[in-house]
Structure 1
Amino acid sequence: MTDLVIREDRGAVAHLTMNSPGSLNALSDAMLAALKARFSELAEDTAIKVIVLKGAGKAFCAGHDLKEMQRGREAPDNGRAYFADLFFRCAEVMQMIPALPQPVIAEAHGIATAAGCQLVASCDLAVAAEDTRFGVNGVNIGLFCSTPMVALSRNVPRKVAFEMLTTGEFISAARAVEVGLVNRVAPHEELAAETEALATTIEGKLGAAVKIGKRAFYDQANMDLAAAYEHTAAVMVENMLWRDTAEGVQAFIEKRKPDWAE
């Protein structure tokens, strides 16, 4: 099962490759299970500081496996129970990404459509090849991308999200950067290097600080302004009391490299 998502560690950076190029890395039942298994193991891996998620072959991810979904209709209930379970499992995997202690970078190329676009939007950061296209195009086949809408509408302005959802039209990588779906764009041949550069920059920071900061980032986003400040102030107090943070501050004052224990 986990061969569907290949893991390769390069130092403290884990590279996960969705490995079903024949289906454009569709989020089949097996692919969702493989992603869940990989995310679960990485959640407990303290040696890994950054995760990169990519797709094998011509595309990042083409969304749900429509042929598999159609087979679900063969059940006596016309697929109702299967579809409910499928969308629950997919949402579970998407929510694992912001809950992971490590920042997750999507390395997108080719296409990222429907639940594949949702996957990019669910990642903390994204780098795309300049010829990548993004879309939530289920409406073109009569299926509004309601679950992908959750992650998309939390990344891009509401009118941009609604236009993408109702027209089914693709946006370019350049437009994806402009609206906030993607952080960086690179020529296709430089995509891996650009992603690695971003991962290496984050890897070089104090891992515990990035971990506590990522958790606080998502926690405060769901609070009102006063509660967010109260919460993040408490997080900063905890952070400031660490030995490695005291060392980092002193190293900055003394204009030297910090001697972190991590």
Structure 2
Amino acid sequence: MADYEFLKIDRQGAVTFLTLNRPQRRNALTHRMMLELEDAFVGVGNDPACRVLVLRGAGGHFCAGGDLDTMADLPPVPPGGTDPLLPTYRQFGNALLALEALPQATIAVVEGSAVGAGFGMACCSDVVILREDARFGIPEPRVGFIPSQIIPFLVRRLGEGPVRDLAVTGRVIDAAESYRLGIGRHLCATGAEIEATLQSLLDDILRMEPKALAVAKRLVQSCAKKDDLDVLDEAAGNLVGLLRQPEAAEGIRHFMAKTTPSWAKR
């Protein structure tokens, strides 16, 4: 992993902890941070020793969207040319695609603010732990712009109706409503409860065979994008391919014997 200016990376065995580290701005994203996030997500995806990514923010907040100070500094549009902001902001969509496509399990620990870009990263994670002070929203239209790159991921996570509500009202919703909408599956009152929940999730995930986990995750995601027949054909092919690998034979043998396969670890 590269050294980053605004991200902290900590590898503990098979688990990579990625922390957004700009707490003085509630981890609001600059263009540099967007590039660092994409690079980090791609690096995690290419790391065969990593089995889980835990994503969180420093200083009691997950991510307060884009940094308005940097967004207000607009470069001029060259005469007859392409606006230089287009590739800059489109790039964050690539970062979200890289996060969503990770073959590893991903856990987002959301405390405090998670609006705009933070909302998007949470919706691209497999499992979301909510602290009771977590707040989600897409209030950008109040300021005169939109959260352009996160919308597809929000709609897939929540459905069209709730996202339309948030888009036209600018409401920022609390952790209880976020839990009811399905943004997060775990609602915690304290930091200690978050850490216990996180450890329980890691224990569960690290019992999974990594290749089978990656295939199952990919098939779940494909259901929103492909025809049912294509998904079923792909699933059958994946199942047969996995059954013919030695890990399946080992897993079945240990399951029958009530013992632990080689990949299961804390």
Specify the TM-score bucket, using the shorter chain as the normaliser. over 0.9
> Are the structure 2 counterparts of residues 77 and 39 from structure 1 closer, same or farther at C-alpha, using a change threshold of 3 Å?
same
Please tell me the residue identity of whatever aligns with 1:245. A
* 1:79-90 matched pairs, under 5 angstroms: 81-90=83-92
Partner of 1:255: 258
Asked if 1:235 corresponds to 2:238, the answer is yes
Return closer, same or farther for 1:261/1:238 CA change in 2, 3 Å cut-off. Answer: farther
* 1:3 aligned onto 2:5: yes
Alpha-carbon distance in structure 1 between the residues aligned to 2:77 and 2:255: 67
Stretches of structure 1 lacking an aligned partner (at least 5 in a row)? none
Amino acid at match of 1:141: V
Give the Cα separation in 1 of the matches to 2:242 and 2:223: 16
Segment of structure 1 superposing worse, 185-194 or 43-52 = 185-194
The corresponding residue for 1:207 is: 210
SS at match of 2:33: helix
CA distance in 2, matches of 1:80, 1:22: 34
Match of 2:59 among 52, 57, 79: 57
**1:75 corresponding residue in structure 2:** 76
Gap change, CA 1:160 and 1:223, over 3 Å in 2:
same
Structure 2 counterparts to residues 96-111 of structure 1, below 5 A: 96-111=98-113
SS at match of 1:2: coil
Q: 1:146 to 1:33 in 2, by over 3 A?
A: closer
| Cα 1:57–1:101 shift into 2, 3 Å | same
Amino acid at match of 2:176: A
Describe the superposition over 1:113-147 as per-residue Cα deviations: whole angstroms up to 9, x where unpaired.
Answer: 01111111112221110111111111211223343
Aligned to 2:135: 133
Unaligned runs of 5+ in 2: none
Give the Å deviation of 1:15.
Answer: 0.3
Q: What is the distance in 2 between the residues matched to 1:235 and 1:220? A: 15
Take 1:188 and 1:87, find their aligned partners in 2: how far apart are those partners?
A: 35
TM-score, normalised with respect to structure 1: 0.92
TM-score of the aligned structures, taking structure 2 as reference length = 0.91
Aligned to 1:144: 146
- Residue by residue over 1:1-28, the C-alpha shift from the partner in whole angstroms, topping out at 9 and shown as x without a partner, is 6131111112211100010111211121
Matches of 1:224 and 1:260, distance apart in 2: 33
CA-based RMSD: 2.1
The equivalent position to 2:22 in structure 1, one of 20, 23, 26, is 20
Report the AA paired with residue 258 of structure 2.
K
Matched-pair contact (CA < 8 Å) for 1:131–1:172: yes
Q: 1:78-120, CA deviations, whole angstroms, 9 ceiling, x for partnerless residues?
A: 9972331122110010000122121111111001001111111
The percent identity for this pair of structures is: 28
Quote the Cα distance in structure 1 between the aligned partners of 2:28 and 2:157.
Answer: 22
Query: Distance in 2 between the 1:197 and 1:260 partners?
Result: 17
Distance in 1 (CA, whole Å) between partners of 2:235 and 2:117 is 32
Q: Quote the residue 1:122 is aligned against.
A: 124
Higher helix share: 1
Residue equivalent to 1:29: 31
Runs (4+) off by over 4 Å: 77-80, 259-262
SS of 1:48 mapped into structure 2: coil
Q: Larger deviation: 12-21 or 32-41? A: 32-41
Cα offsets for 1:176-209 (capped at 9, x unmatched):
1211111211113222332232123102211121
